[in-house]
């Protein structure tokens, strides 16, 4: 699978790509073996203007990639610089933000932060680099009861996230800003995604919703936003093939409350004190069979978070196809989670009276 | 707005698997003219069904209009009509649409005045009042999301500006805890108006400020002393001693049935100033004082008009 770069390098070098406008020609996608990376690579393959799509990751992709050239390289090592230099990469799409606490925390931090540092260092050196698209997360805004209701890109949270991938995302954005200062010629787009949902997504959040009985935080009903995978990929694609430098929130329109989402899915839920839930989350990390949820997820499930996507909508002149409710609905349907027993029982008991109004 | 569209489509998609059962039932029974009671039962059941299936909407602040008008307001309205016998004056000063900032005095030890103002505005002007609440509310389990569901949000410049830009009617109590927790002997004396942030917000949004005097809330829980150590222990801004609380335990939480009057004053237009004035502290201080004086004067006038506190 790991085709070497140098084999095809000579043929691609002479295409005079720097002369033609803004479109990306050689795109490097990090985290290509993971769901988002693979989907973005596939979307880019379909674009004839893009000469080469190079996917890098530490593990081979699970699904076959089309004309994407897979290079097995760890972005935490300097060899990523060689890949970028030898293939004359002009666009780097950094999707390798690990949000699922799969292994020990230090490893996750190293993947996220050190990986980004190495990648950005390589980008800074490369004379061909024109554009950098970074997947960040709306988690950079944290979640707290003292924050205002809707975050726009300019806002700073009252309490910056202090743990997990949210903290990593804040640091990653810091390094990206640093690179932007040093290479002002680069077009840098940073995308702060709300939680991905959809038929293909597997994340701590989807595992949370799939629990047989969904635990919620007693006395709190957070406002949630989701972005459908298709919309997320479309935003990334547009950012790659068009120039939209800046930082953007990405989320589906509308807001769902957690209680509302669970009712729509017909999921049974049980409210628990926050301390119990956090103990459960800790236990889940130790027992791989249990669903683990991290402190960041717990805070999100307590206080929720809503971002303002006006800047993205204006810049792209485009709206996400799926609102938060629709994205959630798609996810529920694809997972076959929806159980309508309570509703059917209700209709049976009331003789359908309630359904007529 | 787009959210509405997607919402509707999701809703019908879900209905699809249940409708046939009901269709069958309806076809089997020829429908007689439903009586008033039947209609109310049916609408109550429809409400329950929507709650059960999650087929309702909330806005980005977490406001759930259906929950608010079906559960919160009726309970508050019972207090409003039968306990406090609230009278509302100066309704012509409330705009029928568009953003405006209602600035009111705060009192009563527990912020029931916010709830009564909400009922008064909703029932008389047909608009949902979006109050700006203290951050303490959003840290307390239950209270935080109940407050959001009934349309309120955290008191901060960003939320206030966003609501005003959306053309909402926003209510604010600039005195904050200093007002709601002041001792009984200071009743109807306006406290400091925070830092005047509300004037800046109204100036930037170019929306009028509507002064509002609420008379009656001062007498519901007359706070005659404050147990500081207990307040610190629980993290409350104050721990009140009233003639009935904590003497009668939970019964002491029943508010005294004072007579209330809510008076809306003439809007203070902000259009005479340009948005740059919002960055001029002197203008802000002057305007804040101006609004404060208007409300203080309205309080004295309304207090006289009301007469005795309880009858």
State ipTM.
Answer: 0.84
Q: Is the pTM of this model over 0.90?
A: no
pLDDT of residue A354: 66
**Chain B, nearest residue to A318 by Cα:** B2
pLDDT of residue B71: 93
Q: For chain A, say whether B154 makes contact (Cβ under 8 Å).
A: yes
pLDDT of residue B200: 92
**Chain A, nearest residue to B27 by Cα:** A352
pLDDT of residue A102: 65
CA distance A48 to chain B (A): 32
> What residues in A contact B134, CB-CB < 8 Å?
none
**Chain A, nearest residue to B46 by Cα:** A354
Domains assigned to chain B:
65-220+255-306 (3.40.1130.10)
Q: For chain A, say whether B275 makes contact (Cβ under 8 Å).
A: no
Q: Dihedral sign, CA of A296, A258, A214, A302?
A: positive
CA distance B139 to chain A (A): 6
B 1-20 residues inside an 8 A Cβ radius of A? 2-3, 5-7, 9-10, 13-14, 17-19
Looking at domain A22-344, its CATH class is: alpha beta
Which of B191, B171, B152 has its CA nearest to residue B262?
A: B171
pLDDT of residue A17: 41
- Cα distance between residue A179 and residue A184, in whole Å: 8
pLDDT of residue B295: 97
CB neighbours of residue A128 within 10 Å: 16
> Would you report the helix, strand and coil content of chain A in percent, each value rounded to 5?
45, 15, 40
- Residue numbers in chain B where pLDDT is lower than 70: 1-32
Where do the H-state alpha helices sit in B181-262?
197-205, 228-234
User: Does the distance separating the beta carbons of A354 and B42 come in below 8 Å?
Assistant: yes
In chain A, where are the structural domains located?
A: 22-344
Q: B256: buried, middle or exposed (CB in 10 Å: 19+, 13-18, 0-12)?
A: middle
Between chain A and chain B, the number of residue pairs with CB atoms below 8 A apart is 155
pLDDT of residue A352: 67
Q: Which residues contact B103 (CB under 8 A, 6 or more apart)?
A: B171, B172, B173, B174, B198, B209, B210, B211, B212, B291, B295
> Residue A242: what are its φ and ψ, rounded to 5°?
-120, 170
Tens digits of pLDDT across chain A (357 residues): 334 444 333 333 333 344 345 567 899 999 999 999 999 999 999 999 999 999 999 999 988 888 999 999 999 999 999 999 999 999 999 999 888 766 777 888 888 999 999 999 999 999 999 999 999 999 999 999 999 999 999 998 888 888 888 999 999 999 999 999 999 999 999 999 999 999 888 888 888 888 888 899 999 999 999 999 999 999 999 999 999 999 999 999 999 999 999 988 888 899 999 888 888 777 766 665 455 678 888 899 999 999 999 999 999 999 999 999 999 999 998 888 766 667 777 777 777 666 654
């Amino acid at each position: 699978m790991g085709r070497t770069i140098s084999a095809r390098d000579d043929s691609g070098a002479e295409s005079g790509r720097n002369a033609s406008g803004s479109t990306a020609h050689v795109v490097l996608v990090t985290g290509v073996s993971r769901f988002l990376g693979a989907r973005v690579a596939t979307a880019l393959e379909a674009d004839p203007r893009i000469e080469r799509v190079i996917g890098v990751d530490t593990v081979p992709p699970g699904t076959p990639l089309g004309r994407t050239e897979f290079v097995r390289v760890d972005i935490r090592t300097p060899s990523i610089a060689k890949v970028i230099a030898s293939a004359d990469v002009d666009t780097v799409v950094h999707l390798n933000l690990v949000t699922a606490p799969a292994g020990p925390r230090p490893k996750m931090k190293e993947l996220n932060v050190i990986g980004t540092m190495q990648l950005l260092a390589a980008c800074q050196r490369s004379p061909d680099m024109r554009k950098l698209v970074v997947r960040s997360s709306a988690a950079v805004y944290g979640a707290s009861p003292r924050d205002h209701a809707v975050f726009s890109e300019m806002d700073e949270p009252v309490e910056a996230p202090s743990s997990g991938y949210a903290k990593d995302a804040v640091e990653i954005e810091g390094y990206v800003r640093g690179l932007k200062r040093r290479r002002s010629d680069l077009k840098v787009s940073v995308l702060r995604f709300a939680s991905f949902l959809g038929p293909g997504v597997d994340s701590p959040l989807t595992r949370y919703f799939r629990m047989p009985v969904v635990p919620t935080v007693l006395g709190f009903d957070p406002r949630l936003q989701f972005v459908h995978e298709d919309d997320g990929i479309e935003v990334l694609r547009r950012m790659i093939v068009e120039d939209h430098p800046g930082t953007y929130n990405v989320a589906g329109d509308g807001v769902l409350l957690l209680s509302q989402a669970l009712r729509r899915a017909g999921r049974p839920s049980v409210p628990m004190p926050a301390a119990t839930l956090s103990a459960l989350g800790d236990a889940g990390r130790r027992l791989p069979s249990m669903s683990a949820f991290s402190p960041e997820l717990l805070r999100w499930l307590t206080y929720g978070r809503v971002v303002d996507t006006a800047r993205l909508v204006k810049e792209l002149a485009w709206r996400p196809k799926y609102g938060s409710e629709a994205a959630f609905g798609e996810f529920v349907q694809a997972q076959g989670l929806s159980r309508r027993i309570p509703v059917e029982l209700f209709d049976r008991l009331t003789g359908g009276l309630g359904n007529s109004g | 707005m787009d959210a509405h569209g997607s919402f509707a489509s999701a809703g019908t998609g879900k209905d699809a698997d249940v409708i046939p059962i009901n269709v069958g039932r309806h076809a089997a029974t020829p429908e007689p003219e439903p009586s008033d009671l039947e209609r109310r039962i049916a609408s109550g059941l429809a409400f329950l069904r929507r709650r059960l299936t999650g087929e309702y909407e909330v806005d980005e602040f977490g406001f759930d209009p259906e929950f608010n008008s079906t559960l919160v307001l009726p309970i508050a309205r019972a207090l409003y009509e039968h306990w406090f016998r609230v009278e509302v004056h100066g309704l012509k000063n409330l705009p029928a649409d568009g953003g405006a900032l209602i600035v009111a005095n705060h009192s009563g030890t527990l912020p029931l005045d916010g709830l009564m103002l909400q009922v008064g505005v909703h029932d008389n002007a047909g608009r949902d009042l979006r109050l700006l609440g203290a951050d303490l509310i959003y840290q307390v389990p239950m209270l935080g999301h109940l407050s959001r569901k009934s349309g309120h949000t955290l008191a901060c410049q960003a939320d206030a500006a966003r609501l005003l830009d959306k053309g909402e009617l926003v209510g604010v109590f600039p005195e904050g805890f200093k007002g709601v927790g002041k001792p009984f002997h200071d009743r109807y004396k306006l406290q400091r108006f925070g830092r005047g942030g509300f004037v800046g917000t109204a100036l930037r949004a170019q929306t009028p400020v509507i002064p509002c005097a609420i008379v009656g809330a001062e007498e519901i829980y007359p706070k005659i002393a404050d147990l500081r150590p207990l307040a610190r222990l629980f993290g409350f801004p104050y721990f009140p001693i009233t003639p009935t609380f904590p003497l009668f335990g939970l019964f002491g939480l029943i508010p005294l049935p004072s007579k209330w009057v809510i008076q809306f004053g003439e809007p203070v237009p902000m259009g005479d100033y340009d948005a740059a004035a919002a960055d001029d502290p002197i203008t802000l201080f002057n305007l804040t004082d101006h609004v404060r004086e208007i409300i203080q004067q309205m309080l004295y006038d309304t207090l006289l008009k009301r007469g005795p506190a309880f009858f």
